[in-house]
Amino acid sequence: MDVLGKRIVFLLVFVLFFTQIPAAMANRGGTSGLKTAGYKSVAFKGEVLSREIARTTGIALNPILCMSAFGAYTYYTTEAAERQALPWHASPQFFGPLALVMFLIFLKDSSKIALPKVLTVPLDALETLLEKKASALLALPMLFSAINSGEYEQVQQISQLLGDFFSHAAIAGTPPGLAVQAGPGILTTLTTCTVVTAVFVVVWVLSHAFDILILLSPFSTFDMVLATTRNGLIAGVVGMAGSPFGLWLSLAICVVAVVLFPRALRLVIFGTVISYDIVVYRLLARESSSLLQGQEIQGFTCCYLSSVPPRTYATIKQNQGQLVITCKTGFFGPQKSIPTGIAAANCALEPGFLSPVVKTKDGQGHGEIRLLRLRPKYHRA
């Protein structure tokens, strides 16, 4: 079974396991929490759960847009006398500057209709490098503040349910005479923050992968298609929040984000490094690195090289006339060197849209295979 199939099976087992928690706890009679009105409200407030998941998913898809929209909506739908008690993320001092930045991004995107792609690439790289990361770092404190102020009521109740289940399991497995101490309030808050953070991270990585594709696309028309697709998802999630369709759409996006997470994360790392080089070496005109014969070069794989998947950050060098790739195991593991079995004499360096590309002929000699895309900081000596 391939990696994608294993990930899907894991998700199915995960869902089936947690859907059986209430029945298992009721049959064992180990908790009275299931018989309270607080637990029943989980089933009768599905629209609240839908809004909570939609908020997290929407903010992850486009942090700056949804943070400013949710903040403005909360502020202007609150009575004037009660606005002083609103949290910081619902104040004009917070969502006002965000709306201004969003307007500037809109002007930049609108200019793509008249300007060629090559002129907008540095601005896209600057947006990818700074705005997308900064807005994500700003969104997490906002979500934690919302959790602390009780705006994630249903997620907290589900977290309490899971906490009750595991705490009773821990008590059942504790030897007699050994006291067990637990802090249900802290455990519930930590579980809620963990769930919300996990949902935000996987969906944000998928959304940021759209930004990287927009940056890498040589055609402005394709940029508009990608942006329209993502904005359509945001409109669907936010517009149908509070309904069963909105809940299922948000959950579907989360499942797709989990399944595609490794590939999307590699694409995000790839785009971040490319954006950094474009901003530093082209926009800020720092002196780039010369590309000399026989030196080690850094870039990203374009295809599977041995067990190394595409878009893996790697260093490539020659060893006895053969190309050898050095990269990390996984994302954060130790480095390893992998011989490719490709002769350096059969490779050629060709210009690409954003950076040079190392190519070689396929086994039959009928075509070319892209091996490695160099970082944009390199230039021929």
The class that CATH gives domain 289-380 is mainly beta
Q: Please calculate the CA angle 201-207-211 and round it to the nearest 5 degrees.
A: 130
pLDDT bucket at 363, cuts 50 / 70 / 90: low
Q: What is the pLDDT of residue 33?
A: 40
Domain ranges of the chain: 3-280, 289-380
Phi/psi for 78 (5° steps) reads -100, 140
Residue where the block lists tokens 């994630």: 152
Reported as a single tens digit per residue, the pLDDT across 246-304 is 888 889 999 999 999 999 999 999 999 999 988 888 778 777 666 656 678 888 888 88
Per-residue pLDDT at 179: 44
pLDDT at 160: 76
Residue 6 pLDDT more than 80?
no
Q: Letter for the amino acid at 291?
A: L
Each residue's pLDDT tens digit, 140-157: 999 999 888 888 888 888
Handedness of CA 28, 30, 36, 42 (dihedral sign): negative
Residue 365: the pLDDT is 60
Residue 328 or residue 80, greater confidence: 80
Distance, CA of 148 to CA of 143 (rounded, Å): 9
* pLDDT tens string 308-347: 888 888 888 888 878 888 887 766 777 888 888 888 778 8
pLDDT at 18: 45
Considering the chain, what is the average pLDDT of its residues? 78
pLDDT at position 294 is: 62
Residue 10 has a pLDDT of: 52
